[in-house]
Chain A
Amino acid sequence: MSKFITILEGLDRRWIFLAMAISVAGPILFIGITGKTLPETPTPTARAVYREIEALSPGTPVLISFDFDPASGGELTPMATSLVHQCAARGLRMVFIALWPLGPQLIDETIKRVILADYPNLKEGVDYVNLGFQSGNEAVMKVMLTDFAKAFPITKNGVAVGDVVALKGIERVDNFPLLITISAGYPGAKEWIQYVISSSGGKIKMVTGCTGVQTPGLYPYYPVQLSGLLGAIKGAAEYESLVNSSLAPKDTSAAVPAKYLEAQRRMGPQLGAHLLMIALIILGNISFFAQRNSKVRATS
C-alpha cells in the first residue's frame, strides 16, 4: 500500500495525459468499429428546444445565429446539425447569421451537410439564406432591433437582402418568432438575452445550444428568458436522439445517417473520460490523506 502511495505522489503528469488519451481514444475506436451508441433520455431543457421548434408552422422564419468557431466545433457542430435538421424537416424559413468571424464557414458546412444533402428541394434565398458575419457584437444586435437590413445588408454570396425572398416581411429582429443561437462565448446566448430578448417584450423566443463552459451560467435564464437550452455535448446527444426518433422513417430498418449520430457517438469517450476524472480525484485524495497522516504520525 505504501509503495502504491509513493507511486501516486511521484506520478509524472504525462502518465495522466496518457490515461486521458486512452480513456477517450478507446471508446472512439470501439464505437467507430461497432457503430454502437449509448441510449439517451432527454432532459426537460432539451425537450423544450425540440418543442419550441416543433410549435412553429411551416414557412415561419427563424433566425439561426452561429456564434462559435471551429475551436468549439467538437461540442457545437452536432447541435448545429440537429437544429438545422429539425428546422429543415419542419419546413421553416432559415435565416443564418454569425456574430463570430468564423461562423459563416460553419454555416456553409452545416447547409452542405444537412440541407443540400437531405433536403435538395429547399431553395437557397427562398427557404434558407446565409447572411454571413457582421462585426460589432452587441451593436449589431442593437441595429437589428430597429432595422434588420441595415445590420445585415447583403447575403454571404453578395445579394442585397432586399432581393431575398426568405427575408420577406422581416424588418426588425422581433419579426422572427424564434431565435436559435449556437453559442461558444462572447458574443453569444447571454448577449442575445440581454440585448434582444429582454428588449423585445416577449415577441421573440429564444433557444440555445451552448458549450459546457457556458451552460451553468445560462440556467438562471431558463425558462423565462430562455425557452430551451442544450448544454454541452450531453445536451446535443439528448436533442439529437429526440430529433432522430421523431424524424425516423416509417421503415424502421433504415439506419440513421452517421452525421445525425455525432453527439451520441461522442458520449462514449465522455463516459470514459468522466470515469477517469473521478478516479483521478479519488486517487489524488488518497495520496493527499496518506501523506497528511504520515506527517501527523511523524510529528507526534
Chain B
Amino acid sequence: MKPSKTWVIVVAVIVVLVGIRMTIGQGMARAYVERVDQSVEVKANDIHGASTEKWTEWHPVAPKKFEAAQKADPSQTKFAFSWANTIGLWLAAFFTLAIFSFLYRDNPGYRLAEAVIIGVSAAYWGVIGFWDTLVPKLFGALTPNLIHDQVLPSLPAPTTGQVVAMYFALALGLMLLMRLAPKGGWISLWPIAFIIGVTAGLKIVSHVESDLVAQSIATFKPLVQPIVSPESAQSGWMLWPTIWASLANILLVIGVLCCLTYFFFSVEHKGVAGRAARVGIMYLMITFGAAFGFTVMGRVALLAARIEFLFDDWLWLIDPAGKRIVEVASAIGSMLC
C-alpha cells in the first residue's frame, strides 16, 4: 500500500512545524543540570579511619534556573547544559512518535522501538530481581560476609532457619533455570509445582474469605434504608434520600441474585430462572457499559500524558509548571507583532 498524498503532506507539515518551532523564542527540548557537591563524614571503624568523602553529582533542573543563573553570572558553573539528558529527551520524543506512527501502519520506526523495549524491559526486570530480592535475601543469607562488606553493611546476620530456607530457594531456582538447558528441562517442573502449590494454598483462603463470604455478607442489606438529616435528627427521615438509598439497596440485592442465576448453569434458564437470568443479563450489560466508559477514561488519560510530554518537555509549546522563563505563547505573540 503506497502512502497517500494526504498523509505524506501531514508528515511533511509536522516536520516543517518542528523546524520552525526550533527557531522561535528559546527553541525547544534542552535539558539542564545542577551541580550538587556531596560531603559525608565517615566514622572510624575496624577497617578504616575517620574521613570525609566528597564527590559531585549532577541533578536535572528546570531551564529557567539555568537561564537566571547565566543572566546573573555568565561564567557560573553551578548549572550546565546536559548533553546526556538532551539526547535522552530527543530519543524519548522519537520513541513516542515511533510508537504513534503505528497508527498509520507498521513501519521500521515502530518495530525498532518495539525491539528496544523488549530487550530493555527483560533486562530491567532481571536487574531489579537481582539487586532488590536476590542480593538481600538469597546472597545475604548464603554469603553474608561478602554482602555485608561490599553492598549492604547494615544487613543483619541471617538465622540458621533463613540460611536453610535460602538453600531450598537456591535449589528450586537452579532447577527453574534448567528450563534454559537443552536437556533436563523436566526438573523445572519441581519449582513450578512449588509455585502452583503455594499459589493454590494462598488463593483458597483469600478467595473464600474475601470474595465469597465477605461479598455475600455485603449483599444482605436492609431494603428500606432510612436517611436522617444530620442537622435535625429529630425531624425524621429525609424523603428523597431515603427513597434513593432504599431503591439502591433493593436494586443491588435483586441484581446480585439475578446475575448469579444467569451464571448458574445447572438449572435450565426457563420460567422464573429464565426471567431472573434475563434481568441478570441486563445488569451485566450495564456493568460492561460502565467498564467501557472507565476504560476509555483510562486510555485517554494515558494519551493526554504522552501528548503533554511532547508539548511541554519536547516542543516547549506549553509550560504549566513554569519551568521556563519565556513562554512560547508570548514568544509567538512577539514574533507576530
Interface membership of chain B positions 212-229, coded 1 if the CB is closer than 8 angstroms to chain A and 0 otherwise: 001101100000000000
Question: How distant is the Cα of A104 from the Cα of B127 in the complex, in angstroms?
Answer: 13
| A14→B320 contact, CB < 8 A | no
Interface membership of chain A positions 256-293, coded 1 if the CB is closer than 8 angstroms to chain B and 0 otherwise: 01110100011001100110010000000000000000
A165 within 8 A of B: no
B234 within 8 A of A: no
- Within B278-302, the residues touching A (CB, 8 Å) are 287, 290-291, 294-302
A160 within 8 A of B: yes
Question: How distant is the Cα of A138 from the Cα of B205 in the complex, in angstroms?
Answer: 12
How many Å from the CB of B247 to the closest CB on chain A?
17
Instruction: Provide the main secondary structure of the chain A interface.
Output: helix
B266 within 8 A of A: no
Across the interface, which residues of B come within 8 angstroms of A153, CB to CB? 136-137, 140, 155-156
A233 within 8 A of B: yes
Question: How distant is the Cα of A212 from the Cα of B301 in the complex, in angstroms?
Answer: 9
Across the interface, which residues of B come within 8 angstroms of A233, CB to CB? 297-298, 300-301, 304
Give the bracket for the number of chain A residues in contact with chain B: 35 or more
Among B133, B302, B320, the residue within 8 A (CB) of A74 is B302
Across the interface, which residues of A come within 8 angstroms of B318, CB to CB? 28-29, 32-33
- Within B289-337, the residues touching A (CB, 8 Å) are 290-291, 294-308, 311-312, 317-322, 327, 329
How many Å from the CB of A143 to the closest CB on chain B?
11
A193 within 8 A of B: yes
A6 within 8 A of B: no
Across the interface, which residues of A come within 8 angstroms of B294, CB to CB? 212-213, 215-216, 231-232
Question: How distant is the Cα of A211 from the Cα of B133 in the complex, in angstroms?
Answer: 27
- Within B176-210, the residues touching A (CB, 8 Å) are 198-199, 202-203, 205-207, 209-210
- Within A122-146, the residues touching B (CB, 8 Å) are 132-136, 138-139, 142
With A216-B291, A220-B218 in contact, is A101–B298 under 8 Å at CB?
no
How many Å from the CB of B52 to the closest CB on chain A?
20
With A29-B317, A160-B156 in contact, is A194–B307 under 8 Å at CB?
no
Among A29, A77, A258, A266, the residue within 8 A (CB) of B311 is A29
- Within A88-120, the residues touching B (CB, 8 Å) are 101-102, 104
How many Å from the CB of B298 to the closest CB on chain A?
3
| B308→A28 contact, CB < 8 A | yes
Question: How distant is the Cα of A270 from the Cα of B215 in the complex, in angstroms?
Answer: 33
- Within B230-280, the residues touching A (CB, 8 Å) are none
| A101→B128 contact, CB < 8 A | yes
With A153-B137, A259-B321 in contact, is A270–B301 under 8 Å at CB?
yes
Question: How distant is the Cα of A133 from the Cα of B134 in the complex, in angstroms?
Answer: 12
Question: How distant is the Cα of A198 from the Cα of B301 in the complex, in angstroms?
Answer: 32
A159 within 8 A of B: yes
With A25-B307, A28-B304 in contact, is A198–B151 under 8 Å at CB?
no
| B103→A32 contact, CB < 8 A | no
With A138-B202, A154-B136, A213-B295 in contact, is A194–B211 under 8 Å at CB?
yes
| A158→B301 contact, CB < 8 A | no
| B124→A101 contact, CB < 8 A | yes
| B297→A134 contact, CB < 8 A | no
Among B129, B154, B287, B305, the residue within 8 A (CB) of A163 is B154
Across the interface, which residues of A come within 8 angstroms of B214, CB to CB? 198, 224-225
Q: Which residue of A lies closest to B60 (CB)?
A: A112
Q: Which residue of B lies closest to A155 (CB)?
A: B154
Interface membership of chain A positions 198-236, coded 1 if the CB is closer than 8 angstroms to chain B and 0 otherwise: 110000000000011101110011001100000111100
Q: Which residue of B lies closest to A103 (CB)?
A: B128
| A269→B300 contact, CB < 8 A | yes
- Within B117-172, the residues touching A (CB, 8 Å) are 124-125, 128-129, 132-133, 136-137, 140, 151-156
B55 within 8 A of A: no
| A74→B132 contact, CB < 8 A | no
Question: How distant is the Cα of A101 from the Cα of B155 in the complex, in angstroms?
Answer: 21
How many Å from the CB of B244 to the closest CB on chain A?
13
| A74→B152 contact, CB < 8 A | no
Known: A194-B210, A198-B210, A231-B294. 7 other contacts (CB 8 A): A32-B308, A74-B305, A134-B133, A138-B206, A158-B152, A163-B154, A266-B301
Can you list 27 A-B contacts with CB-CB less than 8 angstroms, sorted by A residue number? A14-B7, A25-B307, A28-B318, A29-B311, A29-B318, A33-B318, A73-B305, A74-B301, A74-B304, A75-B302, A101-B128, A132-B132, A136-B133, A153-B136, A153-B137, A154-B136, A154-B154, A160-B155, A195-B210, A212-B295, A213-B294, A225-B218, A231-B294, A233-B304, A257-B321, A266-B308, A270-B297
Which 3 pairs, one residue from A and one from B, show the smallest C-beta to C-beta distance?
A: A32-B318, A212-B298, A74-B305
